[in-house]
Copies of this chain bind each other. A is one copy, B any other.
Amino acid sequence: MAGEGRTEGSGKSGQLDFPRPLTTVDVVIFAILDDRLQVLLVQRPAGEGEPFPLSLALPGGFVDVAKDRDLAACAARKLQEKTGVTSPYLEQLGSWGSATRDPRGWSATHAYFALVPTQASVLTSDARWCPISGGRLKEKLAFDHGDILATAIQRLRNKVEYTSLPAYLMPAEFTLPDLQRVYEIVLDRPLEKSAFRTRILSADMIEPVAKMRRGPNRPAQLYRLKKSKEPVYFVRTFNPPE
């Protein structure tokens, strides 16, 4: 272990000559598929010296100081590499760093969380969607990625309570019942139809398109997201959450 992670220190003062932690970025990518909330996971490689070989993990990896201008660019790059999606909702989740989370040494990861619209993803071969049931993932993950994912789910649920975040999970055109269903999937509880409609429609975040969704029942109005960048924050949560 001696000398690992120690910098050579070319500066005149030599003050940078001390061990540096490893720096990575990981991305929790959510989508709605099969009427469930799913997260994108990759399988760890099996090479020599690789930690957690063949385990499932969040997509991510080391910051490339040559390629990545900043952390957000690094996260966007990893999202793009895995899903082909370029500009969905991408928010910083937090960072996790400790001496023990990576067997290769003191490491810190910067975690992001992304919401991608249904159907828009072209996955790489090592990546796959895994359903989240009951607010948890079945599988065990590499590193502390289970903790990171749990935090992401909690953050998502929390924000869905009072923001328009689920709009970023929708396809280009959708109906109000579609949107309500996504809220309900994420929150894992039913919502009031009329209060939901009032809230969404008065938030000025979606606009009707001149089409209806036709089906076996009464047709439903189709909407699309207005091209407003920021999510909407409501001044109340839905139900008293407990």
Where the two chains meet, the residues of A that have a C-beta atom closer than 8 Å to any C-beta of B are 1-13, 15-16, 18-23, 47-50, 62-66, 68-71, 92, 94-99, 104-106, 108, 110, 235-237, 240-241
Contacts and interface: CB of A to CB of B under 8 A. Distances in A.
Contact of A92 (B13, B68, B95, B105): B95
Q: Which 6 A-B pairs have the closest CB atoms?
A: A13-B49, A70-B98, A65-B106, A71-B97, A20-B20, A235-B237
A16 B20 contact: no
Contact of A12 (B6, B48, B69): B48
Nearest to A22: B20
Contacts of A1: 10
User: Which residue, of A16, A65, A94, has the highest number of chain B Cβ atoms within 10 A?
Assistant: A65
Contacts of A4: 7-11, 16
Given A3-B8, A6-B7, 11 more contacts: A7-B20, A11-B104, A12-B49, A13-B49, A15-B49, A23-B97, A63-B108, A65-B106, A92-B94, A108-B110, A235-B236
